[in-house]
């Protein structure tokens, strides 16, 4: 026994260094991809399981290369070069646009072309420091210790290769040992920077692979597409002389809690919605999501495409919207002269929205960075979203298409989220469920108030307007549908009416110029755009015509296992899927020369071009600290004043102007270059004004 222990000790004495090198290489990659050494060290201590799994992939790569070359040192440098390149590109991309390197960057031409731009911003002092430290430590571990074997025999190399395959496969498939499940490791696809920040670059990349697979469609060709388009073509109809504003509001997690008959609310959380339901078009959407995934519902509403034809877990906004896709926004802009505005009270980078809205043909995108910081709980108040919607339709000369989403009633729903819950809940339910329902009801009340504000405003307006107001998905009310079970809304996932109870959200469509008439709606989100075009008597394109006709036959597109029960002909749905494939992944045969006409070349992020028009006080002495007030056009409350490129502590005042203290040393030859910049949560400048030359009193 002693002899074998000695042999084993001697063997591992010259090979344990491979483990140290693996950990060191993981730290190096993370420091490069995060643009900070201390951030990588902190992550390695706070997320030990993720660190270990990243190391497994590095170790596996080292074993494979060692099995091929027979040389550990050479293998280490080859893996290091590859890892360094990936981490470097990811770090530069993250620094530039707030999004790390993603697997689909390598296969989607829209992102691949951006790589050249990322590489222009490589060399920094920190990068040089990181590389020098990395080479110094690696050299010490590889060449200044005798505890490393230089050449490995072929039998051991074969064993290494098999071991590497087992290592990597076990982590990727989580079998036979459920390592990821045991440590609660999973993807964060809605925020890829957070995904990489939590799980590490390599593990996040591997987890993202599950969202990439889109199988090539059989029988897809130009003739098939042409036949479908021709069969669905409608004769041109005269359009109405009235062109209304069309306002579409996606209300976060909107659902009607008063449907819970086993509990009693002290007041109706949504009285105005219920009032509209009695006299106008209303009903439900069959959402493809539950508890999250807002972007996927947006995707359906705006593009007319369906999540039913994409792999589960796919987020098209992050993966596939890399070219112009004719949406309801681009149709109304291109064909009818509308100004199309997207509004979101959250970060402009969230779900890659900035690029997506541009590819959908919007004219303008107003994100969180351009809002007044008025909050209800942790998120921007719904009332602020309503205010921007109303401001937009009033400031533009012509008609508007507005798509807005909200955040006030976003998860979580634990008591304390809002300053006060004014609606109490009675019933035989646990206290934690009661607290969740009361908090959710408070958020639903805010959504209802927003709807009322919009309707009452446009009742007074002389501009004809249509408003569509709907929920994207049901709220997440506890693990394993806890609140829904506690209130007996469902018995569980095997509930016979599970699909309708957990995936149907409210929809109401109101107008200030059409005859008031009650209409029952029941549709998939992908059919909402064609419905609104038809209601407004505005022509669409071949796709919206096809979808409008299909929706009359099948109002909702359910998961495929419901086709038989709902008497859905698979051939009909296959035609829909083929048109979608042509648009998203194919040659876009049906688009013809439309391909170059979708993206608006004048697309604007923010309220419009920012301009400094006045700085007070009018007379300022050089060399003296002075509080200045900056006024101008389209300057947001969250903007910051910069002097000679340096950000000054800034705050908005009650008039909408920005105030800042101009330091004494800002003056150069009697002038200061002032700008207002908008900087997002990733420290990226997303908008800035032209330079305003501020002169001292002597000038």
pLDDT in tens, 239-280: 778 999 999 999 999 999 999 999 999 999 999 999 999 999
Task: Judge whether residue 153 has pLDDT over 70.
Answer: no
- What does the pLDDT average to over 335-339? 96
422 C-beta neighbours (distance < 10 Å), count: 13
Average pLDDT value over all residues in the chain? 87
Q: Which residues contact 27 (CB under 8 A, 6 or more apart)?
A: 40, 41, 44
pLDDT at 169 (0 to 100) = 74
3-class secondary-structure state, position 561:
helix
In the chain, % helix, strand, coil (3-state, to 5) comes to: 50, 15, 35
Task: Judge whether residue 110 has pLDDT over 50.
Answer: no
pLDDT at 312 (0 to 100) = 67
DSSP-H helix ranges across 311-430:
316-319, 328-336, 353-359, 382-395
| Tokens found for residue 486 | 């506690």
pLDDT in tens, 181-232: 778 888 776 667 788 888 898 888 888 877 776 778 889 999 999 999 998 7
pLDDT at 401 (0 to 100) = 98
Distance CA 65, CA 160 (A): 9
3-class secondary-structure state, position 429:
coil
CA distance readout (Å), 342 to 5, 346, 679, 699: 68, 12, 19, 44
């Amino acid at each position: 026994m002693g002899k074998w222990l000695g042999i084993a000790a001697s063997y591992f004495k010259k090979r344990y260094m491979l483990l140290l090198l693996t950990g060191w290489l993981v730290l190096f990659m993370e420091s490069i991809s995060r643009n900070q050494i201390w951030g990588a060290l902190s992550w390695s201590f706070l997320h030990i399981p993720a660190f270990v799994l990243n190391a497994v992939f590095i170790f596996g790569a080292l074993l494979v290369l060692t099995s091929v070359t027979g040389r550990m040192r050479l293998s280490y440098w080859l893996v290091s070069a590859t890892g360094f390149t990936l981490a470097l590109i990811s770090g530069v991309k993250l620094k530039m646009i707030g999004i790390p390197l993603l697997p689909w960057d390598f296969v989607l031409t829209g992102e691949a072309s951006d790589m050249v731009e990322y590489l222009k911003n490589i060399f920094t002092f920190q990068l040089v420091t990181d590389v020098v430290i990395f080479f110094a430590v690696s050299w010490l571990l590889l060449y200044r210790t005798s505890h490393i074997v230089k050449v490995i025999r072929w039998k051991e190399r074969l064993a290494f290769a098999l071991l590497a395959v087992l290592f990597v496969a076990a982590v990727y498939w989580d079998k036979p040992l459920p390592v990821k499940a045991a440590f609660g490791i999973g993807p964060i696809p809605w925020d890829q920077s957070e995904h990489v920040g939590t799980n590490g670059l390599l593990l996040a990349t591997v987890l993202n692979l599950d969202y990439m697979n889109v199988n090539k469609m059989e029988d897809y060709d130009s003739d098939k597409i042409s036949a479908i388009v021709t069969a669905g073509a409608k004769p041109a109809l005269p359009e109405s002389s009235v062109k209304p504003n069309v306002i579409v509001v996606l209300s976060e997690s909107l659902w009607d809690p008063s449907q819970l008959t086993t509990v009693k609310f002290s007041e109706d959380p949504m009285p105005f919605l219920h009032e509209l339901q009695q006299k106008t078009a209303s009903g439900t959407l069959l959402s493809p999501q539950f508890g999250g995934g807002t972007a996927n519902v947006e995707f359906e509403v705006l593009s007319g495409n369906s999540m039913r034809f994409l792999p589960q877990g796919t987020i098209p906004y992050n993966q596939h919207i890399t070219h112009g896709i004719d949406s309801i926004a681009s149709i109304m802009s291109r064909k009818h002269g509308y100004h199309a505005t997207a509004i979101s009270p959250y970060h402009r980078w969230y779900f890659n929205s900035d690029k997506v809205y541009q590819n959908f043909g919007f004219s303008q995108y107003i994100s969180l960075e351009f809002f007044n910081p008025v909050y209800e709980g942790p998120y921007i108040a719904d009332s602020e979203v309503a205010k921007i919607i109303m401001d937009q339709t009033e400031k533009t000369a012509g008609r508007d298409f507005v798509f807005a989403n909200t955040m006030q009633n976003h998860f979580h729903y634990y008591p304390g989220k809002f300053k006060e819950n004014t609606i109490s809940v009675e019933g035989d339910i646990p206290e934690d469920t009661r607290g969740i329902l009361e908090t959710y009801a408070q958020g639903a009340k805010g959504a209802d108030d927003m709807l009322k504000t919009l309707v009452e405003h446009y009742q007074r307006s002389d501009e004809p307007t249509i408003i569509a107001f709907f929920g994207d998905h049901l709220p997440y009310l506890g693990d394993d549908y806890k609140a829904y079970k506690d209130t007996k809304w469902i018995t569980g996932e095997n509930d016979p009416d599970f699909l309708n109870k957990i995936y149907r959200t409210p929809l109401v469509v109101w107008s200030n110029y059409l005859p008031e008439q009650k209409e029952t709606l029941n549709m998939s989100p992908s059919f909402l755009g064609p419905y609104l075009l038809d209601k407004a008597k505005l022509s669409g394109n071949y796709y919206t015509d096809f979808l409008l006709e299909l929706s009359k036959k099948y109002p909702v597109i359910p998961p495929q296992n419901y086709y038989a029960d709902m008497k859905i002909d698979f051939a009909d749905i296959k035609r829909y899927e083929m048109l979608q494939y042509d648009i998203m992944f194919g040659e876009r045969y049906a688009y013809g020369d439309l391909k170059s006409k979708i993206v608006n070349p004048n697309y604007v992020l923010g309220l419009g071009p920012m301009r400094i028009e006045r700085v007070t006080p009018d007379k300022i002495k050089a060399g003296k600290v002075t509080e200045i007030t900056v006024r101008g056009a389209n300057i947001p409350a969250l903007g910051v004043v910069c002097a000679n490129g340096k950000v000054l502590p800034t705050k908005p005042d009650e008039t909408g102007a920005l105030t800042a203290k101009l330091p004494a040393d800002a003056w150069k030859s009697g002038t200061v270059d002032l700008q207002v910049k908008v900087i997002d949560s990733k420290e990226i400048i997303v908008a800035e004004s032209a330079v305003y030359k501020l002169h001292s009193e002597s000038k």
